[in-house]
Amino acid sequence: MPIFTTGATWRIERPHTLVVACSDGRLQVQIDEFLREGLGVQEYDRLYLPGGPGALATSGDEFARSERATSELTFLLDAHKIESVLLLFHGPGPGGPRGSVCADYARKLRHDDPAKVRQQQEADAGEVLRRVFAFRKVEVRALFCDVREDLALDIVEYDLGKGRAVRHTQV
């Protein structure tokens, strides 16, 4: 006897968007809201890891972890015929709470200075975009979920051409 039967049915068609985000559960409702209301993305594949797309970067001293995460991402891109990827980093925005620093980055960098973590996240976003996606025919966007002082999130897009984040959307 099942303990629960869903009202929604399983779909034969796969989604063609992949979201790579941190597994921090404090962000999931806001990420879903941004995807649904900000981008109109209703269904998507998920690759949630500590550090999110930072797990794909070679920064820190866990190169083997980066290779494993990149291998899993590559599998999903190919097996699920992914057409677009959203790389979602997170941390405090200007005036945001220090406790919203990504715990994986605090571990990798051995501190939780928000400015240093953000600097590394931006460097990692550029590296991942160049190293992992340079020769793939997928649309890729790197975004930062900046937690504000009032605990709302601002979604900020990383501008690869300028090598910096640019204010984009509020959730």
pLDDT in tens, 142-155: 999 999 999 999 99
- pLDDT given for residue 119 in this prediction: 92
Do the domain assignments include residue 7?
A: no
Q: Compute CA distances 97 → 23, 27, 112, whole Å.
A: 19, 14, 11
pLDDT of 27 above 80: yes
pLDDT of 168 above 60: no
Supply the pTM of this predicted model. 0.90
Inter-residue contact 104 to 50 (CB < 8 Å)? yes
By C-alpha distance, which of 151, 44, 19, 161 is closest to 98?
Answer: 151
Q: What angle do CA 92, 82, 21 make, to 5 degrees?
A: 20
Distance CA 138, CA 48 (A): 19
Q: Which residues partner with 145 through β-bridges?
A: 90, 155
Both tokens assigned to 122: 């931006």
Average model confidence (pLDDT) across the chain: 91
Confidence of residue 134 (pLDDT cuts 50, 70, 90): confident
Segment 23-27 mean pLDDT: 96
pLDDT of 170 above 60: no
Do the domain assignments include residue 114?
A: yes
Do the domain assignments include residue 68?
A: yes
Do the domain assignments include residue 26?
A: yes
What backbone phi and psi angles, to 5 degrees, belong to 89? -95, 165
- CATH of residue 42: 3.40.1050
Give the H or E element holding residue 131. Answer: helix 114-131
Q: Report strand pairing: 84-92 vs 17-22.
A: parallel
Do the domain assignments include residue 65?
A: yes
- pLDDT given for residue 167 in this prediction: 45
Domain that holds residue 156: 17-170
pLDDT of 76 above 60: yes
Do the domain assignments include residue 127?
A: yes
Do the domain assignments include residue 92?
A: yes
pLDDT of 160 above 70: no
Do the domain assignments include residue 102?
A: yes
Distance CA 108, CA 92 (A): 17
pLDDT of 60 above 80: no
Residues contacting residue 15 through CB under 8 Å, at least 6 positions apart: 43, 44, 45, 80
Confidence of residue 61 (pLDDT cuts 50, 70, 90): confident
Q: What confidence tens digit (pLDDT) does each residue in 117-132 have?
A: 999 999 999 999 988 9
Residues in the chain: 171
Task: Please tell me the total count of domains within the chain.
Answer: 1
